Amino acid sequence: MSSRAQIQTLPQSRDNALLAVEDLSVTFSRGSLFSRLINPLPLPSFNVVDGVTLSLAEGETLGLVGESGSGKTTLARAILGLMRLAAGRIAFAGSEVRTPADFRAMRRRSAMMFQDPVGSLSPRLRIGTLLTEPAVIQGVPMPDRRAAAKALLALVGLPAAFVDRFPHELSGGQARRVGVARALAMKPRLLLADEPTAGLDVSVQGDVLNLIGELKRELGFAALIVTHNLAVIRHVSDRLAIMYLGRLVETGPTREVFAAPLHPYTATLIRSEPVPDPRRRSFGPAVRGEIPSVFRRPSGCEFHTRCPIAAERCRVDPPAYRAMGAGRMVRCHFPLSQGGQELGVLSGTSRNEKGKST
């Protein structure tokens, strides 16, 4: 793969990165319009995305993983300028993106696949119109709209007759393919895909991911895939970024993160995934409790309320986000050293040791 070499040289050098995000924060303030009107003091605000720094090389695939409420969709939307940034810098293809005009220029060369494939297509427009709309909006001259739409459909393996269909006539998998075609209509250098396989059957999910992978090799764009599905992301991403309550807690090459997670949260996520094998059943959930609300962020390390190895220090002292070996970063006072085996010891079970046939 052509992207491999680039990944090796990547770590933190922003010069050759396609996308570099530095200390990005997105803030929501809580309270109704009424309370905002009567209250003279500024309302307390909450960082839904807090100080995220990441970079994406040309042609690289980055998986952004976390539970719902971790801010991963908000981060993706903020990168494209669909949400206002409270702080931070974004650089795209070497130049800083600051003004709304900069974001518009960036969006011309990047694309987003939204979470709901049918919902993101206008129900009153035919597929042909939907596919060529981006080009019309961007003022790209197009002699034959129908032919352009048919070419895009052919690119994603759909029959040309689909140009006259409406979105509701498509199956979930077909709607995803239209979403891919629409995202790639402007030949983007960056694709942001928000849960590209949510709601798809396993036999179709592979289809959509293979399609994105093939087109990536062919067209050479970089991709940021937002998902909570670990089973899928391990096969399609080069690097992983794990998010918890709006902060990155771990980043690193996908294979290494899966083989030896450093952050206890990453380890519990991996261990929570049900294994399709009745002989390797889990005993007891890897993590108890639920993701706290960003409106009530725990003190110290925000994962300490659920962390199986939390110590006194974790309750008071927020850990720094620091480098651990080649290309890996972790936000934890006590990073795991044996690939999450410690957690197994602490909870009395370990996934690999519980081979019990039924």
Q: Which residues bind another protein (CB under 8 A)?
A: 67-68, 171-172, 201-207, 209-210, 213, 228-232, 234-236, 254-255, 258, 268-269, 271-279, 281-282, 284-288, 290-291, 357-358
Q: What is the nearest approach in angstroms of another protein to the Cβ of residue 269?
A: 6
- Whether the Cβ atoms of residue 309 and residue 343 lie closer than 8 Å to each other: yes
Is the CB of 59 or the CB of 81 nearer to another protein?
59
Is the CB of 55 or the CB of 254 nearer to another protein?
254
Is the CB of 29 or the CB of 171 nearer to another protein?
171
Q: What is the nearest approach in angstroms of another protein to the Cβ of residue 63?
A: 12
Q: What is the nearest approach in angstroms of another protein to the Cβ of residue 78?
A: 22
Chain-centroid distance of CA 99 in Å reads: 24
Q: What is the nearest approach in angstroms of another protein to the Cβ of residue 287?
A: 5
**Phi-psi category of 64—alpha, beta or left, where left has phi over 0 and alpha has psi -120 to 50?**
beta
Is the CB of 207 or the CB of 317 nearer to another protein?
207
Is the CB of 134 or the CB of 196 nearer to another protein?
196
Alpha-carbon gap, residue 263 to 337, rounded angstroms: 9
- Whether the Cβ atoms of residue 320 and residue 331 lie closer than 8 Å to each other: yes
Is the CB of 35 or the CB of 272 nearer to another protein?
272
User: How many Å is the maximal CA-CA distance in the chain?
Assistant: 68
Alpha-carbon gap, residue 186 to 261, rounded angstroms: 37
Is the sign of the CA dihedral 311, 48, 222, 6 positive or negative? negative
Q: What is the nearest approach in angstroms of another protein to the Cβ of residue 243?
A: 13
Alpha-carbon gap, residue 333 to 82, rounded angstroms: 34
Alpha helices in 54-114 (DSSP H): 72-79, 100-108
Is the CB of 74 or the CB of 205 nearer to another protein?
205
Is the CB of 23 or the CB of 290 nearer to another protein?
290
Is the CB of 106 or the CB of 286 nearer to another protein?
286
Alpha-carbon gap, residue 149 to 163, rounded angstroms: 7
Q: What is the nearest approach in angstroms of another protein to the Cβ of residue 3?
A: 13
Alpha helices in 65-144 (DSSP H): 72-79, 100-108, 127-137
Amino acid at 348: G
| Placement of tokens 């991996």 in the chain | 270
Q: What is the nearest approach in angstroms of another protein to the Cβ of residue 289?
A: 9
CB burial of residue 322 (10 Å; 0-12, 13-18, 19+): exposed
Alpha-carbon gap, residue 301 to 319, rounded angstroms: 6
Q: What is the nearest approach in angstroms of another protein to the Cβ of residue 98?
A: 35
Alpha-carbon gap, residue 110 to 103, rounded angstroms: 10
Residue 181 is encoded by which pair of tokens? 């075609």
Q: What is the nearest approach in angstroms of another protein to the Cβ of residue 96?
A: 34
